């Protein structure tokens, strides 16, 4: 009985939208990884990841999301455990220690950390009986909850994920409600810290030298791309050339000269949007943006129609996280934001990212599907 | 459960929706600006002004000897390469290029085809490596006419002394597919494939740089965007003394064999020779299949590093081990005498001394000085070979010395248990006899022999044979000095050691000594000859061909009272140790001691 009602409440339009985006992603990965001797094995892997992801998404529909909420802290603790593990025995790649070897695959705990933090924060605020906005001191516990994974992720170092954790938390806190004067206090505090960093030379120097050389280069190159046309400025410049040269209708599937010629670095992961923009043009790229916008707005609606605080916060948190992913990644590809390693949800190559994104979206569907139910 | 209305939170949701719409709109306009408004100009950038990274390979670290004389260097050469994608008409370019570089057009096409599977797009294909000056100049001059053809400077590895010390250096070659994974190397990179070039590859390799150029549609350079300089590899200084190495190589000459010279007070290897040699200069630009087949099928095995990879029966040099085994444990009294009649009979077998007429009555000193076989048959049999084997292992035989060169062989020190298991036969008294004079099953490598005689010289200290003395970063000048590593210390009875050393000195100085050829006016030399039989039986009256002639050994140190150098020499099929091997050791010792006063390593 219950099952059938649940099934009829599943927003199938939203499911179609999700699978549509994933298919666009697969075609882009196919093109970006194509080798002279045929499709790359990376593409085959990505197909497997997407299929697994879709299964995970439907599996995430089955348990009541309150049950998920009950395990939120356990999942959070588990993800912290994995982050510590990766710091101890993780596999290093591209100058950072991010992966846990898992047989033939590698698991990236920082991806799980993002989702588990959203769930844990949603549960914390949902169970907090306070009304009428939070003072700063009320945010000590959630602050601690974000700080632990933040420090661990910074250590790897993974600036992109660290920023994601910070921004997502900020959005969730705003949703949960914060007093106006607390916001002001944060702004003032931030201004003080920022001016200390930028205006006091010893502090600035200390922070600057604590960054990895490649991070320093990226920041420099964002401020002045011409300063380093070979290094990270190169990434940004090449991405812009790729996007721009796509023009209105694009160069066509597998015809993107920039991406096919390997000028574009990280083209199947962080810069996949530039590949799409080059090959599908303005029409294709903005169509994808519209798809994302609709998906995210349906997500906001799911939060709005949720029957309780837990559902609203969980859905709101997931939508916040996904929006940040989408906009930071695309913003970077079109040169609006500095180059940080953040995947494009459902599209970028990467097993852990694909699976956790589908899991997050499955929870969103879960909340949406149970909007008419009563809980006792 | 409390069913609180989430209304206040839901009231803030439009904020999130607004954020989403706002960013989507911003993105939309940005895309419109980049792709529609500026699209044409970006199109032009993509099509006509391509940025091309050109890989700049770093020069490998230079290898110096202990006194800072270069032993392995780099020379700057120029390669003529072709980027097929940049050739407006590939056929035309190939035709023009073939006339300049004097190659058939088919050969150039073949080179392009061979590279097709492994190279990335716009990666140049090498057509002529180390092109002669006139060809380079012609290509440069006719650049306009040859779209797609470029000149690539390369630092090529050069071994100025050819085959000298080649076994230490090993060689370098293109990285293989399996190596690529583990060595973090990219296609076409030259990495160490053997010897020190391999052991210290990570140090010597350096970091690649790149030059960015902008090229137009026909592949012509329009603009230099900048250069990311390659970082040269770290220079390394060996413990080898170039002059001593050369003296050893010259003394060995064309004969096959090995020489190892070490400083007994530190384990620093002063010279390490293996003959025949090969010319490592054949490898850096890819050895031709013909040369490779020739080298690897050569019956004299020039690629083999005999100093560490070959093991020989030690012959009479092994009598040092038997002597220490007897004197240190008290099982032999130096005053004990044996009467040598030229042979010893046991059961039905007769064991001969090398001196047909016999040595007469010999005590320990005379027996070692004159290398009396009958004395050592008797003593070896009295102690039992398992006892001798224990001392052999104490002296570092039967196990690797852990020198950094690859594929070191541990040699063999047999015991009764070993023979039961491996040969499936019991240990006979004959085995005591034969192994006690270094025949039978015993096998020793030249590096082990040098380490052993060094320990006799220094009183029982075993160092890990050291080849790397220090490294120097070429850019910063920072040096890192590597100290010698003491592996262990074995305490021998002082009187026993003194007795053995005095006999070893007698070998080169007393009448009846077997190695007068090692004596030098520069210093007292202590040592022991060995003549290891290659086949057990000679056909009576048959003339010995070279391949059945005995291996000649000499191991020793000098000066006898304050040792500065320990040497081990093997001359394959050289005949008698005293005649063939001892003079080689003399040359090495003289070269080192001649300069020892003036030339102290920094």
Question: A34-58: per-residue pLDDT in tens?
Answer: 776 678 788 999 999 999 999 999 9
Shortest Cα distance, chain A CAs vs residue B171, angstroms: 30
pLDDT at A135: 76
With beta carbons under 8 A apart, name residues in chain A contacting B45: 241, 244-245
With CB atoms and an 8 Å threshold, state whether B19 touches A323.
yes
Low-confidence ranges of chain B (pLDDT < 70): 1-7, 48-51, 117-121, 177-188, 215-222, 535-547, 595-602
pLDDT at A233: 65
CA B580 to chain CA centroid, Å, is 26
Please write the tens of the pLDDT for every residue from A363-373. 999 998 887 76
Please write the tens of the pLDDT for every residue from A103-148. 566 778 888 899 999 999 999 988 877 666 777 777 888 888 988 9
A24, A46 contact by CB (below 8 A): no
For residues B184 and A163, the model is more confident at A163
pLDDT at B220: 65
Please write the tens of the pLDDT for every residue from A76-105. 999 999 888 888 876 655 555 667 766 566
With CB atoms and an 8 Å threshold, state whether B13 touches A336.
no
**Which residue of B31, B55, B187, B226 is the best one to mutate when testing the A interface, meaning the one whose CB has the most A CBs within 10 A?**
B31
Shortest Cα distance, chain A CAs vs residue B255, angstroms: 51
Q: Is A242 on the interface with B (CB under 8 A)?
A: yes
Phi, psi of B323 (to 5 degrees): -60, -50
| Residue in B closest to A279 by C-alpha | B35
With CB atoms and an 8 Å threshold, state whether B31 touches A258.
no
Other beta carbons less than 10 A from residue B183's beta carbon: 17
| Residue in A closest to B38 by C-alpha | A244
Q: Where are the domains of chain B?
A: 52-85+92-238, 242-596
**Which residue of B2, B5, B16, B29 is the best one to mutate when testing the A interface, meaning the one whose CB has the most A CBs within 10 A?**
B16
Q: Place A62 in a pLDDT band, splitting at 50, 70 and 90.
A: confident
Q: Domain B242-596 - what CATH class?
A: alpha beta
B316 is catalytic: yes
Other beta carbons less than 10 A from residue A364's beta carbon: 27
Residues in a beta bridge with B63:
B72, B236
With beta carbons under 8 A apart, name residues in chain B contacting A232: none
pLDDT at B283: 83
> DSSP characters for A268-312?
TTTTHHHHHHHHHHHHHHHHHHHHHHHHHHHHHHHHHH-SSHHHH
Q: Is A224 on the interface with B (CB under 8 A)?
A: no
**pLDDT for A1 beyond 50:** no
pLDDT at B458: 93
What the block records as the tokens of B375 is 């004395």
- Chain A stretch 258-277, residues whose beta carbon is closer than 8 A to a beta carbon of chain B: 258, 260-263, 277
CA angle (B508 as vertex; B504, B509 as ends), nearest 5: 105
What lies within 8 Å, CB to CB, of B474 at 6+ separation is B61, B62, B232, B233, B234, B235
What the block records as the tokens of A347 is 């599209």
Long-range contacts of A298-304 (CB under 8 A, 24+ apart): A298/A11, A298/A13, A298/A14, A298/A17, A298/A368, A299/A364, A300/B13, A300/B16, A300/B17, A300/B20, A301/A368, A302/A11, A302/A364, A302/A365, A302/A367, A302/A368, A302/A371, A303/A367, A303/B10, A303/B13, A303/B16, A304/B10, A304/B13
pLDDT at A321: 94
What the block records as the tokens of B36 is 């529609």
A237, A293, A313 ranked by CB distance to B9: nearest:
A313
With CB atoms and an 8 Å threshold, state whether B45 touches A245.
yes
pLDDT at A91: 62
Q: Is A64 on the interface with B (CB under 8 A)?
A: no
What is the Cα–Cα distance from B323 to A129, expressed in whole angstroms? 92
With beta carbons under 8 A apart, name residues in chain B contacting A37: 117
Q: Which one is catalytic: B316, B371, B436, B445?
A: B316
Strands (E), chain A: 91-93, 96-102, 105-107
Q: Is A176 on the interface with B (CB under 8 A)?
A: yes
Q: Which of B415, B410, B409 is nearest to B389 (CA)?
A: B415
CA angle (B432 as vertex; B430, B435 as ends), nearest 5: 100
The mean predicted confidence, pLDDT, of chain A is 82
Q: Fold for domain B52-85+92-238?
A: Penicillin-binding protein 2a (Domain 2) (3.90.1310)
B485, B464 contact by CB (below 8 A): yes
**pLDDT for A232 beyond 80:** no
- Chain B stretch 117-146, residues whose beta carbon is closer than 8 A to a beta carbon of chain A: 117, 120-122
Q: Is B12 on the interface with A (CB under 8 A)?
A: yes
pTM to 2 decimal places? 0.63
With CB atoms and an 8 Å threshold, state whether A292 touches B24.
yes
What lies within 8 Å, CB to CB, of A291 at 6+ separation is A17, A20, A21, A24
Shortest Cα distance, chain A CAs vs residue B36, angstroms: 5
Q: Place A155 in a pLDDT band, splitting at 50, 70 and 90.
A: confident
What is the Cα–Cα distance from A259 to A268, expressed in whole angstroms? 9
What is the Cα–Cα distance from B451 to B462, expressed in whole angstroms? 7
């Amino acid at each position: 009985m219950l099952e059938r009602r649940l099934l009829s409440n599943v927003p199938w339009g939203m499911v179609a939208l999700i699978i549509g985006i994933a298919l666009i992603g697969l075609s882009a990965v196919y093109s970006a990884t194509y080798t002279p001797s045929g499709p790359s094995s990376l593409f085959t892997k990505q197909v497997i990841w997407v299929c697994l992801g879709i299964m995970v998404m439907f599996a995430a529909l089955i348990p009541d999301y309150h049950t998920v909420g009950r395990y939120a802290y356990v999942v959070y603790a588990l993800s912290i455990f994995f982050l510590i593990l990766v710091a101890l025995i993780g596999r290093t790649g591209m100058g950072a220690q991010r992966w846990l070897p898992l047989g033939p695959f590698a698991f990236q705990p920082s991806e799980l950390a993002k989702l588990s933090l959203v769930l844990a924060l949603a549960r914390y605020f949902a169970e907090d009986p306070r009304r009428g906005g939070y003072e700063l001191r009320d945010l000590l516990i959630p602050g601690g909850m974000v700080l632990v994974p933040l420090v661990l992720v910074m250590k790897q170092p993974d600036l992109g994920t660290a920023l994601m954790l910070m921004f997502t938390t900020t959005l969730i806190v705003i949703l949960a409600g914060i007093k106006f004067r607390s916001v002001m206090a944060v702004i003032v505090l931030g201004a003080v810290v920022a001016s200390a960093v930028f205006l006091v030379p010893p502090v600035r120097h200390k922070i600057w030298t604590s960054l990895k050389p490649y991070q320093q280069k990226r920041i420099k190159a964002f401020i002045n791309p011409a300063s380093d046309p070979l290094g990270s400025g190169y990434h940004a410049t090449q991405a812009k050339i790729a996007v721009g040269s796509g023009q209105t209708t694009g160069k066509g599937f597998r015809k993107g000269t920039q991406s096919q010629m390997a000028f574009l670095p990280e083209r199947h992961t962080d810069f996949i949007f530039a590949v799409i923009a080059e090959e599908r043009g303005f029409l294709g790229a903005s169509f994808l943006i519209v798809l994302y916008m609709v998906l995210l707005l349906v997500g906001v609606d799911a939060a709005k129609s949720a029957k309780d605080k837990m559902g609203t916060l969980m859905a709101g948190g997931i939508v916040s996280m996904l929006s940040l992913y989408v906009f930071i990644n695309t913003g970077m590809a079109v040169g609006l934001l500095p180059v940080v390693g953040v995947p494009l949800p459902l599209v970028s190559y990467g097993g852990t990212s694909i699976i956790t994104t589908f899991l997050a979206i499955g929870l969103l569907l879960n909340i949406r599907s149970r909007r008419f139910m009563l809980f006792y | 459960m409390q069913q609180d209305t989430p209304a206040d939170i839901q009231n803030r949701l439009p904020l999130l929706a607004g954020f989403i719409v706002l960013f989507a709109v911003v993105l939309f306009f940005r895309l419109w600006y980049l792709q529609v408004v500026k699209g044409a100009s970006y199109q032009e950038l993509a099509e006509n002004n391509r940025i091309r990274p050109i890989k700049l390979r770093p020069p490998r670290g230079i290898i110096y000897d202990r006194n800072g004389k270069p032993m392995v260097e780099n020379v700057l050469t120029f390669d003529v390469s072709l980027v097929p994608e940049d050739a407006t008409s590939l056929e035309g370019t190939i035709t023009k290029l073939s006339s300049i570089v004097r190659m058939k057009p088919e050969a150039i096409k073949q080179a392009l085809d061979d590279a097709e599977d492994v190279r990335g797009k716009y990666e140049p294909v090498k057509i002529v490596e180390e092109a002669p000056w006139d060809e380079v100049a012609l290509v440069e001059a006719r650049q306009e006419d040859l779209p797609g053809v470029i000149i690539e400077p390369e630092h090529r590895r050069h071994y100025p002394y050819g085959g000298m010390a080649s076994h230490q250096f090993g060689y370098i070659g293109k990285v293989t597919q399996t190596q690529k994974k583990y060595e973090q190397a990219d296609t076409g990179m030259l990495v160490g494939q053997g010897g020190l070039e391999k052991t210290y590859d990570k140090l010597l390799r350096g970091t690649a740089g790149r030059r960015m150029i902008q090229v137009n549609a026909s592949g012509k350079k329009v603009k230099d965007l900048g250069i990311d300089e390659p970082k040269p590899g770290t220079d390394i200084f060996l413990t080898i003394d170039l002059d001593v190495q050369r003296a050893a190589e010259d003394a060995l000459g064309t004969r096959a064999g090995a020489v190892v010279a070490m400083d007994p007070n530190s384990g620093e290897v002063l010279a390490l020779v293996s003959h025949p040699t090969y010319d490592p200069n054949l490898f850096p630009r890819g050895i031709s299949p013909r040369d490779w087949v020739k080298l690897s099928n050569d019956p004299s095995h020039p690629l083999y590093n005999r100093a560490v990879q070959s093991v020989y029966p030690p012959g009479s040099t092994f009598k040092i081990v038997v002597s220490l085994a007897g004197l240190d444990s008290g099982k032999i009294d130096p005053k004990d005498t044996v009467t040598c009649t030229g042979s010893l009979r046991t059961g039905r077998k007769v064991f001969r001394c090398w001196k047909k007429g016999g040595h007469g009555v010999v005590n320990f000193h005379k027996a070692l000085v004159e290398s009396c076989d009958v004395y050592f048959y008797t003593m070896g049999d009295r102690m039992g070979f398992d006892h001798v084997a224990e001392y052999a292992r104490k002296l570092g035989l039967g196990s690797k010395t852990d020198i950094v060169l690859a594929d070191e062989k541990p040699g063999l020190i047999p015991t009764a248990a070993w023979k039961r298991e491996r040969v499936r036969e019991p240990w006979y008294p004959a085995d005591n006899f034969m192994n006690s004079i270094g025949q039978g099953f015993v096998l020793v490598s030249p590096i082990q022999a040098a380490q052993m005689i060094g320990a006799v010289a220094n009183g029982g200290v075993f160092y890990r044979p050291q080849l790397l003395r220090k490294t120097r970063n070429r850019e910063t000048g920072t040096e890192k000095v590597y100290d010698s590593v003491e592996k262990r210390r074995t305490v021998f009875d002082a009187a026993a050691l003194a007795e053995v050393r005095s006999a070893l000195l007698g070998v080169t100085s007393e009448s009846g000594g077997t190695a007068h050829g090692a004596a030098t006016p520069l210093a007292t030399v202590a040592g022991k000859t060995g003549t290891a039989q290659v086949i057990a039986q000679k056909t009576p009256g048959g003339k010995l061909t070279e391949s059945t002639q005995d291996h000649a050994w000499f191991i020793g140190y000098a000066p006898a009272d304050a040792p500065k150098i320990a040497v081990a020499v093997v001359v394959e099929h050289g005949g008698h140790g005293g005649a063939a091997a001892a003079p080689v050791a003399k040359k090495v010792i003289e070269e080192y001691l001649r300069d020892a006063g003036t030339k102290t390593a920094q």
